[in-house]
């Protein structure tokens, strides 16, 4: 089971495993790309650039490049900070109930069906994954997000076995508590039933 890490840029978001080495969140990773392009292509000074001070041989060449670069500049998060998604304040999800669709898990269903129903519900706020271990007679749902990890286990017949909820506080200290049923899981995660 992987633990939720925070983005190394200190924005407060969980790190995204799809970024290089999984160290930052996607908005911060995207911003780093814009920062490189912004400085490499001299967006700040592009309007003042002259043929003499550039690698271009003619004014036409310089203008053609400047025109094409302006297309990228129009999308550049550094040229236009209002586009910068990484600057949006990350709001930690609070443990309060939020409005949501009423939702209950049917009593008589297989473990996989129950896990899928709960995963769909939690998928609004969490990254979810279901693992089925037929030999061990277990269906495991893992829901992760904002430093929290919820792990719920059913048997294949659909009986709830156990659950754990852990919070990664500062990388070193995890707070773990047992979760006895799906209702409790929703309550702990602040998900409306």
Tell me which residues touch Zn ion (CB under 5 A). Answer: 7, 9, 11, 13, 25, 28, 38, 43, 76, 78-79
Q: Which residues contact 40 (CB under 8 A, 6 or more apart)?
A: none
CA quadruple 170, 142, 89, 96: dihedral sign: negative
- Which is nearer to Zn ion, 79 or 117 (by Cβ)? 79
- Which is nearer to Zn ion, 83 or 192 (by Cβ)? 83
* Residue carrying the six token digits 């990350």: 90
Helix axes 111-122, 182-189, angle to 10 degrees: 10
Query: In 3D, which of 193, 191, 165 has the Cα closest to residue 95?
Result: 191
> H or E segment at 71?
helix 59-73
Q: Is 107 exposed, middle or buried (0-12, 13-18, 19+ CB in 10 A)?
A: exposed
Q: How far is the CB of 37 from Zn ion (least distance, A)?
A: 7
Cα separation, 142 vs 104, in Å, equals 18
- Which is nearer to Zn ion, 58 or 89 (by Cβ)? 89
- Which is nearer to Zn ion, 79 or 167 (by Cβ)? 79
Q: How far is the CB of 88 from Zn ion (least distance, A)?
A: 10
Q: How far is the CB of 41 from Zn ion (least distance, A)?
A: 7
Q: How far is the CB of 13 from Zn ion (least distance, A)?
A: 5
Q: How far is the CB of 53 from Zn ion (least distance, A)?
A: 19
Cα separation, 145 vs 12, in Å, equals 12
- Which is nearer to Zn ion, 79 or 156 (by Cβ)? 79
């Amino acid at each position: 089971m992987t633990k939720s890490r925070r983005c190394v840029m200190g924005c407060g978001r969980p790190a995204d495993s799809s970024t290089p080495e999984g160290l930052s969140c996607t908005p911060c990773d995207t911003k780093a790309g814009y920062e490189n392009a912004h400085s490499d292509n001299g967006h700040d000074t592009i309007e003042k650039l002259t043929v003499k001070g550039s690698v271009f041989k003619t004014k036409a060449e310089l203008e053609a490049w400047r025109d094409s670069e302006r297309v990228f500049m129009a999308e550049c998060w550094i040229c236009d900070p209002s586009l910068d998604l990484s600057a949006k304040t990350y709001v930690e999800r609070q443990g309060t109930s939020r409005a949501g669709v009423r939702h209950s898990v049917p009593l008589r269903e297989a473990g996989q069906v129950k896990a899928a129903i709960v995963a769909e519900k939690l998928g609004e706020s969490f990254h979810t994954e279901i693992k089925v271990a037929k030999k061990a007679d277990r269906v495991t749902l893992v829901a992760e997000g904002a430093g929290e990890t919820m792990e719920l286990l059913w048997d294949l017949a659909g009986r709830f076995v156990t659950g754990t909820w852990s919070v990664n506080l500062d990388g070193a200290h995890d707070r773990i508590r047992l979760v006895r049923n799906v209702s409790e899981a929703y309550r702990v995660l602040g998900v409306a039933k």
